[in-house]
Each structure stands twice: as C-alpha cells, then as structure tokens.
Amino acid sequence: MAKRPFAYGKGTLRCDGVALSEIADRFGTPTYVYSADAIRGAYHEMDRAFDRLPHRICYSVKANPNLSVCSLLAGLRAGADVTSGGELARALQAGFQPEQIVFAGAGKSRSEMEDALTAGIGCFSVESEGELRLLSAVAAERGAVARFALRVNPDVNAHTHPFITTGLASTKFGVPIADASDHYALAATLPGLRAEGVGMHIGSQMTDLSPVVEATQGLAALASKLLERGHTLRHIDIGGGYPIPYGDEQPDTPGQLATEIEPMLRPLGLVVLTEPGRWLVGTAGVLIVRVLYRKRNGAHAFIIVDGGMNALLRPALYRAQHKVVAVRENSRNTRAEVVGPVCESTDVLSFEAMAPDVQPGELLAILDAGAYGFSMASEYNGRPRPAEVLVDGAEARLVRRRQSHEEIMAPEMGL
C-alpha cells in the first residue's frame, strides 16, 4: 500500500505538506481533503501488481466521483466502472475514454442504455436475462452493437460485512454461474449484441482475498468453456473489493491476489479487467470536522462536531470504524464518543471509547475517508454536503465548494 499521505509536522496534521488547519481556515468544515500523490501512488502500485498479465484498471467511480479525482485517474489512463447514467456522464466529463468504460448495475434503464450506446462505451455488465433482451432491443433499434459481459454470481462468500457482500446467491447481483452458458447461447441468437467478456464482483473490503481466488477459478473455467464454444470473448473482469487497513490489521494486497490468480488467467489469453474503488482513493482522503461542544450525559461523554452521518455515513450504516485523530499534534486521549449534529442517535463518527481530548474550536480528522465518504453524503437535516479539497504537492485546490442553502432549495418548485 502506498505511503500514508497524512502525517504530523510543525505541530499539525498535514496532507503532503499542507497543514489541515490551514485548509480548514480557508475552506471551512466539514471538508474532505484528498492527496493527489497518494491516488497516483495507489494506481501505479495496482498497475504494477498486474503487470505480468494484459490488464486494465477500471476505477469504480462510486467510491469517489469527484470530477477532479476522476480526471486525475483518467489522466493515468485508467478506465472506469460506472453504475448509473449519472456516473457515466461524470466519467465522460472527467475524460475517461468511452471504450474503457464498463457499465455495471442490476437495474439499468432503457434511457441509461441509450446514453451508454451513444457514448460508445466498452462494455455493459449484464445481470439478468431481462436486461440482456432489453439491451439487444435497444441496440438493434439504433443499428448499434452493444458489447456485453455477463456478471456471474458464483455463490462464493466474501466473508466481509453482510451489507457489502455481493457474490452470494441470496443477493440480487449477477446471474447464477450455472446458467451463464445458456445466457451466452441466447445472446448469440439476439440482434445487436456481442459477447465481450465474463465478469464478477463478489464483495468489498475483503480483508482476506482468498474468496476472489476461489471465484476466479470458476470464472476462468466458464471463460474457457465459452471460448471453446466459439464465443468471441476479449476480457475477464474480476471486479473490485480490495481491502484497505482501517485499523491496525494487515489486509491482503492486490500483488498477492495477482500472483495467485495469474496461473488461472494466463492460459485464457484474455485482457484482465479489475474494478478497484476503495483501494485507489480510501487512504488518500480524510474528513476534517470542527469540535462544537463537549458534553456529558451521566456516565457518557460526547464530543460534538460539525459533520456527522450527513458527511460520512459509513459508521452509522455499517458501524464502520474509522480512526479519529486530532489535527493538533500530541493531543492526549479521553473516554468519549465523537458524534455529529444530526438528530439521530446513530449519528456517530466514532464508537470507540477513546477519542482525542480536544476542546471546542479544535479540529479532528476522520482517517481513511477518501472512498464512500463524500459519495454517500447527504443533505439530511438541511445540512450542505462537505466541501472537497484536492492537495497536489504544495497546492490545496477547492474541487467542490460547499453549497449555499439557496442552491440546495433551488430545484424545488410550486411555492
């Protein structure tokens, strides 16, 4: 894993040399701060991990859809994995090459298919027979050819949080692997379709990546059977799901996975696609918040800050644990929960008993918040989403400003 970009210097936490206290003073809080160098470093490391195989890294835009983050990765020649018409528009705007975009998701609408065909995307990741038939009809109507890969559901347990497990038969994702050959045979009889590959994505944040090894075995066997039957496949997509260390654990790395699956993939002669999201941007970002109050309800101590589940939903949704540190160096610890300003008891940023002993007016940084942070933020309780800042070397650039209340209300009508 690339070197962590956040470290203390001259008494304050810094992002590649820029003081987070300075960023908070300039742009306010809550604010996400991302390190461009860390994102570049992670991309190059993943690229090297797969360099013994023909491969393409398709950044999973949902992890951090900010246009500047996307354009940074597009500039490194990454492809993109998108999951809606909105993400497709964003990926195109950010400069990803259309033919390097894969479109995933179990619920694509006709208009999303039309937009993607107009853009000339590389591949639709198809998740059901109904979707296959609609895609064929939409492409044929337009005299176009839709390249597709079936997303198979290998019924392999990713052994991660149940909410982010996607490769079990009990989840809505993909087509049972046993039915896949029949779907390709059907597709060969339908107009407007061309089989481009096979794919899967079995889960996210898999600390132990061996379920991917197991599932890749099945996927590779399917690809080889399809090739024998004359299907013109060009790629095999192993999905994303690479883990980052949120605590002190040492999760498996892309390099370890690539080494294990290389012998299964090499004989196929296909381009290996992978769709990392979290691994490329997760540790590259923090959320900075300012302390509003300290309070005590009986035995329970709270540090109330100006961004909560509206800014970072992961702790409330998954009880995810992000490290929380003081921006000022050498703060002591105290027994307290860090909570946000939202009117919900689940509005907690850190359930851990210990927290930095900071006073009102001071800053906290929630670490490893670059992935699924801003992208799951909301305006709940009438709070604007956080601002976003990209640090590149010594320069801190505002890449998304905080919206005003007027801007948030602007689309509403009828008053």
Residue 226 contacts residue 184 (beta carbons within 8 Å): yes
Q: Is residue 164 part of the contact set for ligand LLP (CB under 6 A)?
A: yes
| C-alpha–C-alpha distance, residues 198 and 145, integer Å | 17
Residue 343 known to be catalytic: yes
Q: Is residue 315 part of the contact set for ligand LLP (CB under 6 A)?
A: no
Q: Is residue 205 part of the contact set for ligand LLP (CB under 6 A)?
A: yes
| Residue 88 main-chain phi, psi, to 5 deg | -65, -45
The piece of 239-247, 251-259, 321-329, 358-366 that touches ligand LLP (CB under 6 A) is 239-247
Provide, rounded to whole angstroms, the least separation between the CB of residue 241 and ligand LLP.
4
CA 211 to chain CA centroid, nearest Å: 19
Selected binder of ligand LLP within 204, 216, 283, 350 (CB under 6 A) = 204
Q: Is residue 235 part of the contact set for ligand LLP (CB under 6 A)?
A: no
Q: Which is nearer to ligand LLP, 363 or 388 (CB)?
A: 388
Amino acid at 238: I
Cβ neighbours for 17, distance < 8 A, ≥ 6 positions apart: 9, 393, 394
Q: Is residue 341 part of the contact set for ligand LLP (CB under 6 A)?
A: no
Q: Which is nearer to ligand LLP, 192 or 277 (CB)?
A: 277
Q: Is residue 56 part of the contact set for ligand LLP (CB under 6 A)?
A: no
Q: Is residue 352 part of the contact set for ligand LLP (CB under 6 A)?
A: no
Provide, rounded to whole angstroms, the least separation between the CB of residue 263 and ligand LLP.
23
Residue among 144, 90, 91, 92 nearest 113 (CA): 144
Euclidean distance between the first and the last CA atom of the chain, given in angstroms as a whole number: 52
Residue count, binding to ligand LLP (CB under 6 A) = 20
Q: Give the DSSP letter of residue 282.
A: S
Q: Which is nearer to ligand LLP, 192 or 307 (CB)?
A: 307
Length of the chain: 415
Amino acid at 163: F
CA atoms within 13 A on the CB side of 292: 13
Which residue in the list 58, 70, 123, 343 is annotated as catalytic? 343
Binding to ligand LLP (CB under 6 A): which residues in 72-131? 81, 104
Q: Is residue 283 part of the contact set for ligand LLP (CB under 6 A)?
A: no
DSSP 241-253: -----SSS-----
SS3 159: coil
Q: Is residue 276 part of the contact set for ligand LLP (CB under 6 A)?
A: yes
Q: Over the range 14-46, which residues count as b (16 or more CB within 10 Å of their CB) and which as e?
A: bbbbbbbbebbeebbbbbbbbbbbbbbbbbebb
Q: Is residue 168 part of the contact set for ligand LLP (CB under 6 A)?
A: no
Q: Is residue 239 part of the contact set for ligand LLP (CB under 6 A)?
A: yes
Neighbours of 191 (CB within 10 A): 11
Q: Is residue 64 part of the contact set for ligand LLP (CB under 6 A)?
A: no
Q: Which is nearer to ligand LLP, 50 or 279 (CB)?
A: 279
Q: Which is nearer to ligand LLP, 5 or 276 (CB)?
A: 276
**Annotated active-site positions, please?**
343
Residues that bind ligand LLP (CB under 6 A): 60, 63, 81, 104, 164, 201, 204-205, 239-242, 275-279, 314, 371-372
